[in-house]
Chain A
Amino acid sequence: MSSVLVFLEIKNREISRISWEAMAAGHQLAASLGVPVDLAVVANRDNPLLQTIHGKVPRTVYAIDDPLLHDYTADGYTTACAQLIEHAKPTYVVFPHTYQVRDFAPRLATRFQQTLISDVTGIEAGPAFTRQLLQGKLNASYHHSGSEVCFLSIQAGAFRADAAEAGSTAVEPFLPKLDATQIRTKPGEPFRASAQTVDLTSAPILVSVGRGIKEEANLPLVQELATALSAELAASRPICDAGWLPMERQVGSSGQTVAPKLYLAIGISGAIQHLVGMKGSQCVVAINKDENAPIFEVADYGIVGDLFEVVPALTTAVRKVKS
């Protein structure tokens, strides 16, 4: 019997939000196919987090458990998940598109001679799977061919987590056969780079700058606007990579997640890895010369124009009303 198997990820001692979104995607897919949903989590069957599973009620929750899975490794997870898939025989396997999933799911799919459909943003009739190309400037629709298992990973924020429904679920322990020699990498403890000296998350206004600024020497332009607005300065990744601003000011999946009252994105294209870090802002303003830049999809107000003209004009206008 066919089914949809959704993998949930535990992070910071909770099942991560993107996991609930992947679960919603899995339920939507399963409903369209008329098949049940099973869930899988790497956890001991007695882990209290399993009791926090909510949303639509699954058929079974598999608690994948082995001492060799306590620290994440691609080899350990690939082998354990492959064994569960062989056991549960799902038709679709759905993952949240996290860094951990990016690290092992392609390997897992390859073990089944399949290609993961990564970073899916929508599921339509067929089923057809939508994902973005060219950093969000193009959408592509794919289907899976053949009768083998199909692997998907779901982009953050693309699906809304389902509301909880009453009902209880059977937790079934799944004990994979793992051997320490199968695990060829030795992971170290996670650490943070350096002590944070700015707290972007508490700033009510962020003026955020991207590669459109072109050169480090142009940064005072946005700094002046930030000062005029009493805002903190933030940035997209390339600005911090270049060392123009410290990494603690980086917004996005590998930096800070912020939700200020106002987020002003200047010369930022709006790649998904940036958007996930600022989509929750109460008001987003984008200044970009490209009217098709994906940032405008999440902006409340937009100015299509050259930032080198617009930003100084804005600074002047802000100063005028403030004085």
Chain B
Amino acid sequence: MKIIVAIKQVPERDARIRIDSGNKWIDLEDVEFSMNESDAYALEEALQLKEAHGGEVIVVSAGPERAGKTIREALAKGADRAIHLQSSDETELAAYDALGVARLLAASIQDEKADLVLTGLQSDDLGLGQTGVILAELLGLPHASLILKIEVAGNGLKVLRELEDGWFQHIELATPAVLTIQSGNTKLRYATLMGIKKAKTKEVRVIAVADLVASDPSLKPTAPSVVLDQVKLPHKQRSTQLLGGSPAEAAAALVEKLQFEVRVI
């Protein structure tokens, strides 16, 4: 089975949030990056499928040069090769909306004719929760989203889908297909030393976004339908009473509130 996994490099969870001078994104200075959480699970699913059924795992990532580090991490964990859709700087991709980025991703993987395309459910930075589903429509493939488990069944797949409030369902679909993977269902592997060494020799095809667009003008971000105007720190409307002092003082103050105001002790 030939499996493509879309992975995105995103700012670390506890990155310091300061708005940059353009008011369109955060200041990335001193920010560390990592593989988007659900993408790591998508990669793990792909690697397990390959181990069980054979085939090839190809990762694709759109992002600036720094995304190369996350790509190497995926290769070190066991992906066979990679496509790096490289933007020239931090802002080039920001000119695209979700459909625009998905078009670029679709154009870069179309010729691979994969049996399965996996994406994360949602990126931790933009949180659109859409790219995989859009990709399915662009590639003309069926999809299932919020997937926790993939089994090969007959000449198709049987997947476990998460529903709201602790419910689940199975879905059967034929390949080729697109699945968006929800975090948490398996243990993630670590890259071994051997894997890290091997990763250095694996193929990373770098495609410049500008070159891809030049080859197909319909990919140009001339008129994204959704445009970001500005970002802001959330307006604090909190009525939280903060209890200060040493841990012991804060704890004592809280217990008093719980006793006399909330009346639960």
Residues of chain A at the chain B interface (Cβ within 8 Å): 11, 74-75, 78, 98-99, 102-104, 106-107, 109-111, 113-119, 128, 131-146, 148, 150, 184-193, 204-205, 229, 237-238, 240-242, 247-248, 250, 253-257, 261-262, 282-283, 285-286, 290, 292, 294, 296-297, 299-306, 309-310, 312-314, 316-318, 320-322
Contact = CB atoms under 8 A, between A and B. Distances in A.
Nearest to B159: A185
Given A296-B240, A305-B247, A314-B251, A134 B168 contact: no
B17 interface: yes
A11 B164 CA distance: 10
B9 interface: no
Interface SS, A side: mixed
24 contacts: A74-B145, A106-B130, A107-B133, A115-B226, A119-B127, A133-B126, A135-B127, A137-B234, A139-B232, A141-B232, A142-B228, A146-B225, A186-B171, A191-B169, A229-B264, A241-B183, A292-B17, A299-B240, A300-B239, A301-B254, A305-B247, A306-B247, A317-B252, A321-B259
A188 B57 CA distance: 28
A320 B101 CA distance: 58
B251 A107 contact: no
Interface of B: 11, 13-14, 17, 19, 26, 97-100, 102, 124-130, 133-134, 136-138, 142-146, 162-174, 183-185, 223-244, 247-248, 250-252, 254-255, 257-259, 262, 264-265
Given A119-B129, A191-B169, A141 B247 contact: no
B225 A144 contact: yes
Nearest to A242: B184
Given A140-B228, A188-B171, A313 B248 contact: yes
A115 B258 contact: no
Contact of A296 (B26, B128, B238, B262): B238
B136 A190 contact: no
A313 B250 contact: yes
B251 A204 contact: no
Nearest to A134: B125
Contacts of A187: 169-171
A106 B227 CA distance: 16
Given A250-B166, A254-B162, A285-B258, 13 more contacts: A104-B133, A106-B137, A109-B99, A118-B130, A134-B124, A138-B19, A139-B234, A141-B231, A190-B167, A205-B264, A301-B257, A302-B241, A322-B265
A292 B238 CA distance: 11
B169 A317 contact: no
A135 B128 CA distance: 11
Given A191-B168, A313-B247, A140 B227 contact: no
Contacts of A118: 128-130
Nearest to B10: A134
B226 to A, nearest CB: 5
Contact of A190 (B169, B172, B254, B264): B169
Contacts of B225: 113-115, 144-146, 148, 150
Nearest to A254: B162
A311 B98 CA distance: 42
Nearest to B184: A241
Contacts of A257: 165
B26 A310 contact: no
Contacts of A309: 247
B164 to A, nearest CB: 5
Nearest to A276: B164
Nearest to B233: A138
Given A115-B98, A134-B17, A142-B227, A185 B232 contact: no
A187 B231 CA distance: 39
Contacts of B19: 138
Contacts of B143: 74, 107, 185
A147 to B, nearest CB: 10
Nearest to A296: B240
B234 A115 contact: no
Given A75-B142, A102-B145, A134-B17, A297 B237 contact: yes
B134 A138 contact: no
Given A102-B146, A300-B240, A117 B137 contact: no
A82 B124 CA distance: 29
A143 to B, nearest CB: 6
Contact of B248 (A113, A131, A317): A317
Nearest to B168: A191
Nearest to B239: A300
Nearest to A194: B166
